[in-house]
Structure 1
Amino acid sequence: MTEPALPTSGVQLLEVEPELAGQRIDNYLLARLKGVPRTLIYRILRKGEVRVNKGRIKPEYKLQAGDIVRVPPLRLAERDEPAPLAQGLLERLEAAVVYEDKALIVLNKPAGVAVHGGSGLSYGVIEAFRQLRPDAKDLELVHRLDRDTSGLLMIAKKRSMLRHLHEALRKDGVDKRYMALVRGHWATSKKQVGAPLQKSNLRSGERMVEVSAEGKEALTLFRVLRRFGEFATLVEAKPVTGRTHQIRVHAKHAGHCIAGDSKYGDDEFTREIRDLGGKRLFLHAYMLKVPLPDGGELQLEAPVDEVWARTLERLGA
């Protein structure tokens, strides 16, 4: 592959290496055109200014080995390097890494940090790790967590690992489990919630999900971990399907919304938890079990943060 000069002016011709086959053109350009705003990349794609093998393509086009990608001249208003992220955030995310090898990074993502830039955010976890690991040219998110959800998040360092894990996710080969603090007394007999979910966008552009007969099939398995009287229950949630906001909406549908959920929660319950110091969404991806390409298995657990631990301590006092 021809390494692109950092975008200044002039046409760039990039040859796609075999290990990048199957990657979307937008993700390919986002990873290579460091310092170019996401909005500009999507604009040149939308206008057909990016050509593959001399032909127009759509942003969702998947590259093939040997494709020649033509990138038009790009002008940056200022410097051609991305603005460095705050050192404190970079150090925090570096410290959150719980596993790393040549092909995979797994971190315990802090609550409140988005997984990627967009929707008014200039950066997220993936942008931070592209600065933390400048030699890893193919960093991609394997899956996502909501901004306010904490816990185990996988980042592939190689396209082969990304393809392997996407295949495992499609075939239910990945076991992801969450902890959630919910309102009220969750009955031990309530072991699953199966309710179809449908996404919609409000006028503000905010994405909402609701239970609807017209939605997509969704199933979450639940298990009681600890009770705090009749006031709250700590549950384990295992999403069998992977719908947007699935655990949060299924918990609400079961009559037990999650503490700190500003979108689907109960304001009074959230306020009472906040009074105990719990100023966060109480949803944490604590366990992950994934098959590795060599036939082995990786199993990880991630501890909750101090806010979560201290709040539960006060609840149980």
Structure 2
Amino acid sequence: MNNQTNPIQVQFVTIDEDHFEQRIDNFLLTFLKGVPKSMIYRIIRKGEVRVNKKRIKPEYKLQIDDVVRVPPVRIAEKDERKAPSKNLTKVSQLEDRIVYEDKHLIVLNKPAGIAVHGGSGVDYGVIEALRSLRPQQKFLELVHRLDKDTSGVLLVAKKRSALKHMHDQLRHKKMQKDYQALVRGEWQSNDKAVKAPLLKITLKSGERIVRVNKEGKESETRFKIMQRYQGCTLVQASPVTGRTHQIRVHCQYTGHPIACDDKYSEQKFDDSMRSLGLARLFLHAAQLRFTHPDTEEVMTVKAPLDENLIEVLGKLKKV
């Protein structure tokens, strides 16, 4: 599929596997970069967009070899692939953070401090940055998400078929995620799993947080002690479910909040960690195990801890 922004004449696009079962409205939002959603829905509603010469609805799912009629659309010229203006250093460094890549996937060691996607006051995220760095790559989509302040393994699909395959693994809990977290106090050996329902809450201030609540969604995280230190413990956290802030809230729920967690930690503990040089949340997606969407090979990809986290661990006293 050849993508041409701001077409000045009618285009006919034949659908391939990369857009199989994608909704026509989402396809057009990608194909017609920069065109407002309102205009997309208007040209669909007016019948200017046709699939196999027939009118369709916005929820129509594309099939392989469908022929899509894309009408002329004029908007102000805008380079959507231009690199984000802010934090250009971090954007350019993303290429150096790629730990694995093939025709189907990119595995990135995401730095802390960068959101995975733009929105909610964030100008850009990892996915927008990657698209700006790879303008020739016609398809790049996040397989899953990491919190802005969490670093580590992040999967990006380069084909729609790969994205669908990976989402199936997530849905059926066939993807193993292992995080490393430095938590307050002495983690008890018998706390091998935390099962506590999680509920999203919006505070009066507008801040969104997550709390353990019986009305929340079923959630489970499995824990393993990696190293005990004086006053804290390095644990491996493996989420069985994938709820927002799950590991962070489950750690807080056990009485062992993660170091420098601005939403769920404890001031005194955080101050002691900052005195050792910790400048970020100590939560890192260290390892991911999954089945490759093309070869069906079981793969394990790893992301090393950032230097700041290694330096802090080196200053702690082992017990």
- Give TM-score, length-normalised by structure 2: 0.87
Shift of 1:159: 1.2
Tell whether the 8 Å contact from 2:252 to 2:258 is kept in structure 1 after alignment: yes
Tell whether the 8 Å contact from 1:14 to 1:68 is kept in structure 2 after alignment: yes
- Give TM-score, length-normalised by structure 1: 0.87
Code of the aligned partner of 2:82: A
Matched with 1:85 is 84
Q: Percent same amino acid among aligned pairs?
A: 48
Note the alpha carbon deviations across 1:177-219, whole angstroms, 9 max, x for none.
0000111111011101001111233355433211111111110
Runs (4 or more) in structure 1 with deviation over 4 Å come to 8-15, 24-27, 47-52, 69-72
Code of the aligned partner of 1:17: D
Shift of 1:149: 0.4
Q: Mind listing any 5+ residue stretches in structure 2 that lack a counterpart? A: none
Tell whether the 8 Å contact from 1:181 to 1:233 is kept in structure 2 after alignment: yes
Matches within 5 A, 1:4-15: 4-7=3-6, 14-15=13-14
Matched with 2:263 is 263
Note the alpha carbon deviations across 1:252-308, whole angstroms, 9 max, x for none.
111111111111121221122112110101100001111123231111111111111
Matches within 5 A, 1:91-130: 91-130=92-131
Shift of 1:7: 2.6
Output the CA distance in 2 between the equivalents of 1:26 and 1:232.
50
Q: Mind listing any 5+ residue stretches in structure 1 that lack a counterpart? A: none
Tell whether the 8 Å contact from 2:81 to 2:131 is kept in structure 1 after alignment: no
Tell whether the 8 Å contact from 1:49 to 1:56 is kept in structure 2 after alignment: no
1:112 to 1:248, Cα distance in 2 relative to 1, 3 A: same
Output the CA distance in 2 between the equivalents of 1:44 and 1:190.
54
Matched with 1:287 is 287
Matched with 2:251 is 251
Tell whether the 8 Å contact from 2:14 to 2:67 is kept in structure 1 after alignment: yes
Output the CA distance in 1 between the equivalents of 2:206 and 2:7.
34
RMSD between superposed Cα atoms in Å: 2.5
Between structure 1 and structure 2, the one with the greater Rg is 2
Tell whether the 8 Å contact from 1:110 to 1:150 is kept in structure 2 after alignment: yes
Code of the aligned partner of 2:173: D
Which has the higher mean CA deviation after the structures are superposed, 112-121 or 292-301?
292-301
Say how many residue pairs are matched.
Answer: 307
Note the alpha carbon deviations across 1:80-107, whole angstroms, 9 max, x for none.
4443235522331000000001111001
1:270 to 1:26, Cα distance in 2 relative to 1, 3 A: farther
Note the alpha carbon deviations across 1:40-92, whole angstroms, 9 max, x for none.
644445x644456434426xx6444426365673523x634443235522331
Tell whether the 8 Å contact from 1:183 to 1:233 is kept in structure 2 after alignment: yes
Shift of 1:163: 1.2
1:55 to 1:62, Cα distance in 2 relative to 1, 3 A: closer
